[in-house]
Amino acid sequence: MSTVATPARLPSSGVNVKTVNRVVIYGLLALFALFYLMPLFVMLVTSFKTMDEIQNGNMLSLPKAPTFDPWLKAWGETCVGLTCAGIKGYFWNSIKMVVPAVIISTLLGALNGYVLTKWRFRGHTLVFGLMLFACFIPFQSVLLPMATILGSVGRFGASLRNSVGTSFGLGNSTVNLVFVHVVYGIGFTTLFFRNYYEAFPTELVRAAQVDGASFFQIFRRIMLPNSMPIFVVTVIYQFTNIWNDFLFASAYAGTGDSMPMTVALNNVVNTSTGVVEYNVNMAAAMIAALPTLLVYVLAGRYFVRGLMAGAVKG
Amino acid sequence: MSTVATSQIKLTPEHARPRATVRSRLQDALPKIVLAPSFAITVIFVYGFILWTIYLSFTNSKTFPSYAITGPRAYQRLWGWTFDTDPPSSWYTSITNMGIFGFLYILICLALGLFLAILLDQKIRGEGVLRPIYLYPMALSFIVTGVAWKWFLDPGLGLEQTLHQWGWTSFHFDWIKNKDFVIYTVVIAGVWQASGFIMAMFLAGLRGIDGEIMKAAQIDGATTFQLYRRIVIPLLRPIFLSAFIVLAHLAIKSYDLVVALTSGGPGGSAWLPSNFMYEYTFKRNEMAVGSASAVIMLMTIVAIIVPYLYSELREKSR
């Protein structure tokens, strides 16, 4: 565009420098795009190859005879520890954990953000500060006490089952993980909603109050209808974080049938028994990555906004 | 929730006088009642548990917690092991790795993120395609990232073998199996995952810079390089700070990546303090030592985060 205008003053050399610059910039950008795409590409093509082709072929070549078998095997047959029933059960474990944890933590965050911005009381900054700092702690510093408590709750649940017949979910690994993710997720969800509601006109709330609307009426009729974007951001953020969690999952549901997806994947990949089936491993990794990748593809804009909101705190 | 609210509204006309005080008091306290569970949960499960962990680090707990205080023995043991003891101290390995990993990870992510953001800010066609490509690794779990890179860096299957097939048979790259270099593979995978996000932060910062300043500098005859060095990068200082905080925080918490990529490396040579804590607490039955290492991790984060949060919150309330 601008190159059209310049030749009049600067003959060919100026145009050349500019063109060379553009070529270099585009070249570098393309090179980095390759760097970021490479591992995913390799994972994807490997998951469609036969073991024969993997051992004798090139990592980067496309599968000669694409086969869907590794995916089927990863889903339904591969061994996780001693049980060989595929990763499908663990995939559902993750879903059963993620859905309630996301819903509960998001709703609590919305209510907290509403209180901390529109119903302020003395010391609200301190309360928020304490909840905010909780987002940053290395979870190692709470891992052991939580394990102890969950252990006691589990024993209590077992004795309940013996006496009453049901444990009311106490001691169930999935319930435990939902609880843990809610507890350590409300800091972030509160932060998101607080910052969003901070910009929401307080006059509207006061006006509704004067008209006699109650605390929850204002929340339901005025705040919620205007919170769609931040709900999407928070849900995506929480979904990604909880789905991808490994530390809590391995500490509190590291063995048995209740493992979430990340732990199961790690077990599949790191088993030392038998022949390592790389194509099945890669298919399993793809299955574990798909939900969050799908969210990213469908709602990338909100995903980035969540990361940014989580990054620039306070 | 809504049922409670509506029934109260219906009741008021009939019971106006006697109920008024109770109801209005309830209404006044309602916000606090709503916030209370979350706050209580935070106080107990975050701060209470932190105190509990600190307490345990001063006991003699092994497989099971013991609650008799025995002084700072765990810390003495933690720092007393050295590289010369047998077996060599995994704690020193962990913090050395933390230093190497933290420094390189933060530095490369910042440099690469800034570089890519500046390149992307040159009115690039197809920016809408490139940006998501740089950023997508952030949506993956560390476990998936680890699995992918483990494959890619494996000498027998990945990059090395591919280059051999292409004729470069002298190429040798076995860092992932080498106890002195395995931590650098963690850096590679970590940078791959987070640098795109840092790019997005810088890009947002670049887009926020007033175009007039840039124009004025260009009219004054500044070259592009000078423009960025003298004007743009200093203006991005707040982004550098936020990005540093994010990266430092991610680095100290990194645990899964080491597990998935290296399974701890040969002889635990890829451990970070987070891995040390997990192994000692849950696998080696050294609960007190594990707690002590968790406390040290927490202190490191506190030293970085608290001044930052304090200044952020103060700035906001001003």
Q: Domain for residue B72, yes or no?
A: no
Q: Which domain holds residue B15?
A: 2-57
Nearest CA in chain A to B291: A141
Run of H or E residues at B49: helix B49-57
Alpha helices in chain A (DSSP H): 2-5, 12-47, 51-56, 69-76, 88-118, 124-133, 140-163, 173-183, 186-198, 202-210, 215-218, 228-244, 247-252, 261-269, 278-311
Residue B181 token pair: 């270099």
**Whether B115 and B230 share a structural domain:** yes
Question: In a structure prediction context, what are the per-residue pLDDT tens digits for chain A, which is 314 residues long?
Answer: 444 444 444 445 556 888 888 889 999 999 999 999 999 999 999 899 888 888 777 778 888 888 888 898 888 888 777 777 888 889 999 999 999 999 999 999 999 999 999 888 888 888 988 998 888 889 999 999 999 999 888 888 888 888 887 777 787 888 999 999 999 999 989 988 998 898 889 899 999 989 888 889 999 999 999 898 899 989 998 999 999 999 999 998 877 788 899 999 988 888 766 677 888 889 999 999 999 999 888 887 788 777 777 665 43
Cα distance from A135 to chain B (closest Cα, Å)?
10
How many independent structural domains does chain A possess? 2
Kindly state whether residues B91 and B36 are assigned to the same domain. Answer: no
A88 and A157 share a domain?
A: yes
How many domains in chain B?
Answer: 2
Q: Are residues B156 and B45 located together in one domain of the fold?
A: no
What pLDDT sits at residue A8?
43
Residues A74 and A126 in one domain: yes
> Tokens 């509960």 map to which residue?
A104
Task: DSSP letter for B44, please.
Answer: I
Q: What percent of chain B has pLDDT over 70?
A: 90
A162-176, B28-42, B140-154: range with lowest mean pLDDT: A162-176
Q: Measured between beta carbons, which residues in chain A are less than 8 angstroms from residue B42?
A: 130-131, 134, 183, 186-187
Are the beta carbons of A121 and B31 separated by less than 8 Å? yes
CB pairs under 8 A between A and B: 265
Nearest CA distance, A286 vs chain B (angstrom): 8
> What average pLDDT score do residues B66-72 get?
81
CA A190 – CA B38 distance, rounded (Å): 9
User: Most A CBs within 10 Å: which of B144, B283, B299, as the mutation test of the A interface?
Assistant: B144
* Shared-domain flag, residues A122 and A254: yes
Instruction: Let me know whether A49 and A74 are in one domain.
Output: no
In a domain? residue B70: no
Residue B36 sits in the same domain as residue B94: no
What are the C-alpha distances in Å from A66 to residues A45, A50, A106, A269?
A: 9, 8, 42, 22
User: Which of A11, A46, A67 finishes a domain?
Assistant: A67
Task: Test A288 with B143 for CB contact under 8 angstroms.
Answer: yes
Question: A134–B56: do the CB atoms touch at under 8 Å?
Answer: no
Is residue B316 very low, low, confident or very high in pLDDT (cuts 50, 70, 90)? Answer: low
B158 and B260 in a common domain: yes
More confident residue, B1 or B202: B202
ipTM score assigned to the predicted complex: 0.84
In a domain, B92, yes or no: yes
The residue of chain A nearest to residue B117, with distances taken between CA atoms, is A29
Residue with tokens 């209590």: A156
Distance between A285 CA and the closest CA of chain B, angstroms:
6
DSSP code of residue B286: -
Tell whether A45 and A127 lie within a shared domain.
no
Same domain, A91 and A58: no
A183/B119 CB distance under 8 A: no
pTM, 2 dp: 0.86
Spatial CA neighbour of A284 closest among A307, A298, A266, A296: A266
> Shortest Cα distance from A112 to chain B (angstroms)?
6
